[in-house]
Chain A
C-alpha cells in the first residue's frame, strides 16, 4: 500500500527553527509537495521537490532524498502566523497526489 508519515503535532518558539519530516512509501514517485493549511482555509502551495537536495525559498526550505523516501520542510525565523498544518503529498506513478495526514505546528511566543 501507499503510505505517507509525518508527525501529528509539533511545538516551536517564535524566532526559532523547526524541521518537519515526511517519509513515504508509494508506487512510483513523480515529486513531493509541501502545502500549508491554516485552520478553516484551503491548502496553499509551499514547495515542490522532484530531485534530491535542498530547495530554499525565503524562510522556508524543503529537502528530498529519493533513495531514503524522505523529505523535510525547514522553517526558519518562526513567526506566529506560521502556526498552521503542514501537509506532505507525493505524486505517484499514476500522477495522483497521495496526502499525508498533516503536521499541526504550534508556535509559542
Chain B
C-alpha cells in the first residue's frame, strides 16, 4: 500500500513555456502533499506544502507565482512551472502523507526530471 505516482517521469520543454506535473496517491487519501526540488548531488529542498482545498504554503525563496500548486482532491496535487527557464531544470519529487497513521511518514513519488532548453 501507500503508493504515490508522478506524471510525467521526465519532460523536456523550451524556455518560456509552462509544464504541469501531477502527483497522485493511488491507494490512500492524502490531506497533505509536499513538493520538493533536488539539484544534482544536493539534498531535497522543500518547495511547498499542499493541503487539500486550501492554498499551498511556500517555503522562503520559492516564488508562488512561478510554481503554481493545486491540491484539488485528496488524491491529486499538481505543480505547474510557469515560464520555465534553464535554471528550473531539476528533479521534482512529490510526497504524500497519510493522516490515518501516527508515524507521519511521507510516501514519495518516483520524481519528475525536468529539463528546460
B44 lies within 8 A of A31 (CB): no
Q: A87-B44, A101-B43 are in contact. Are A43 and B104 (CB under 8 A)?
A: no
Q: How far is the CB of B44 from chain A (nearest CB, A)?
A: 5
B109 lies within 8 A of A42 (CB): yes
Residues in B with CB closer than 8 Å to A41 are 110-111
Q: Does A99 contact B (CB under 8 A)?
A: yes
Q: Does A44 contact B (CB under 8 A)?
A: yes
Question: Which of B7-53 touch A at CB < 8 Å?
Answer: 34, 42-44, 46, 49
Q: How many residues of A contact B (CB 8 A)?
A: 20
Q: Does B63 contact A (CB under 8 A)?
A: no
B46 lies within 8 A of A42 (CB): no
Q: Mark A15-32, 1 if CB is under 8 A from B, else 0.
A: 000000000000000110
Give B residues with C-beta under 8 Å from A: 34, 42-44, 46, 49, 91, 93, 103-111, 113
